[in-house]
Amino acid sequence: MAGVFKAYDVRGIYGQVLNKELGYQVGRAFGAMLGAGKKMVCGRDDRHHSPELQNALIEGLRDAGIDVCQMGLCTTPMNYFACFSDGYDGSVMVTASHNGGEYNGLKFCRKDAVPVGYEDGLDQVEAMIAAGVPEKADRRGSLSEKSYKDGYLAYLLERCHFKSKFRFAVDAGNGMGGYIIQDFLDRSGQRAVPLYWELDFSFPNHPANPLDFSTLETLRQTVRDQGLDFGVAFDGDADRCFFVDDQGEIIPSDILTTLLAVHYLEEKGPTAIVYDVRSSRVVKEEIDKRSGEAVLCRVGHSFMKAMLRRKSGWFGGELAGHFYFREFSYADSAFLTMIMVMNIIDEKGKKLSELVRPFKKYSPSGEINYVTDQADRLIAEASEKFPGGTVCSIDGIRL
């Protein structure tokens, strides 16, 4: 089990640190923690070992007395949607997101798609397995099947308020975004230039990780060459996305957070907007201008979702490309983000580059990473060097 239990999920190279035996044990332990008689929904991505891992996990859950609905292929946000829309007590998604095809993983949620991380549940699951898998429940859980693809698409289409016919490109990175993009386009009356929509978790074209800007080069060039309105790239399980404007320029996620925050503040009035500590100061400045509550949060989707829910805010954004919506049970959805951007472009009647230009006031350095075993000392020294400054220690140090 060494190293397979991460901060937000269970993840590792399949056949080495993660296998069907461990999948079964995780199912037994998580089911025991949730409680016999509860209901869960389970979905998966298209990795070649995902069906095996899913089946083992489901067997473990059922032996723990959990009634399981198997939803088959889906994006992670579709799994969230199933969880909160049909009142399940929990959900699990079999995916390793943008990691290479040799990896797999398990993302768990409680009721209302509240994520389960290591600090609030996965640690207990790991401890249960280490101590010996809990006994089987008196009653074995049932198994049913239901697709949520049409329901999720209907939910998304209800939020499409745009009238324009857009010219845009979509890079699915051979991940799960390709599973629903054509259906979405057909039903919304839109067309898009396809980039890597075929499901292939060997990721033959580029890693499905748009946070790595090198993966966006083809998308950028396509937008420029064809004079498109914008481009959007999804990660492997389609919970994250990045945008390219009509000039082929990458829009940093904190700038997109600002655009969406302004939209919600103008539409809903003063509300809490959650953003992560790595974001540009322009986010807070624009929220403050509109009498919103700018809520700084530590990095990580479970922390962001919990903070947004606690504040009952309408929206939150994270530099990694996660965007969170109150109307989506405080969870993230790349497709809902894309729809909101399309709505804004249509409503404002401006190009995307024009809409984000006012927010590009500061020059970002990007991430500059160093490895150290003296983090606490370095943080303290940095704080001491700026005695007159404002120090934020929510997650490391921000000056």
Domain ends where: 147, 170, 185?
Answer: 147
Q: Mean pLDDT over residues 316-338, rounded?
A: 97
Range of 325's domain?
253-332
Beta strands in 191-292 (DSSP E): 191-195, 230-234, 241-244, 250-251, 272-276
Residues 73 and 33 in one domain: yes
Positions annotated as catalytic residues are 97
Helix (H) or strand (E) holding 105: strand 103-110
Residues 180 and 111 in one domain: no
Q: Is residue 343 part of a domain?
A: no
Q: Mean pLDDT over residues 287-300, rounded?
A: 92
Domain ends where: 147, 177, 198?
Answer: 147
Q: Which pLDDT score, from 0 to 100, does residue 301 have?
A: 81
Of 44, 55, 24, 61, nearest in space to 237 by CA: 44
Residues 244 and 259 in one domain: no
Q: Check which CATH number belongs to the domain holding 163 and give it.
A: 3.40.120.10
Residues 28 and 64 in one domain: yes
Residues 195 and 101 in one domain: no
Residues 119 and 245 in one domain: no
Q: Which amino acid is located at 72 in the chain?
A: G
Residues 46 and 85 in one domain: yes
Average pLDDT of the chain to the nearest whole number: 93
Q: Which pLDDT score, from 0 to 100, does residue 106 have?
A: 99
Residues 237 and 298 in one domain: no
Beta bridge partners of 232: 170, 243
The pLDDT tens digits of the residues spanning 128-177 come to: 999 998 899 999 999 999 999 999 999 999 999 999 999 999 999 999 99
pLDDT band at 299 (very low <50, low <70, confident <90, very high): confident
Q: Measuring CA to CA, how many Å separate 318 from each of 3, 102, 276, 298?
A: 25, 27, 5, 10
Q: Total structural domains in the chain?
A: 3
Residues 291 and 311 in one domain: yes
Q: Is residue 367 part of a domain?
A: no
Tokens in use for 112?
């209302």
- Indicate if the pLDDT at residue 375 is higher than 90: no
Residues 107 and 219 in one domain: no
Residues 63 and 74 in one domain: yes
- Indicate if the pLDDT at residue 273 is higher than 50: yes
Of 358, 356, 351, 354, nearest in space to 227 by CA: 351
Residues 16 and 128 in one domain: yes
Domain ends where: 147, 163, 189?
Answer: 147
Classify the C-alpha dihedral 187-193-195-196 as positive or negative.
positive
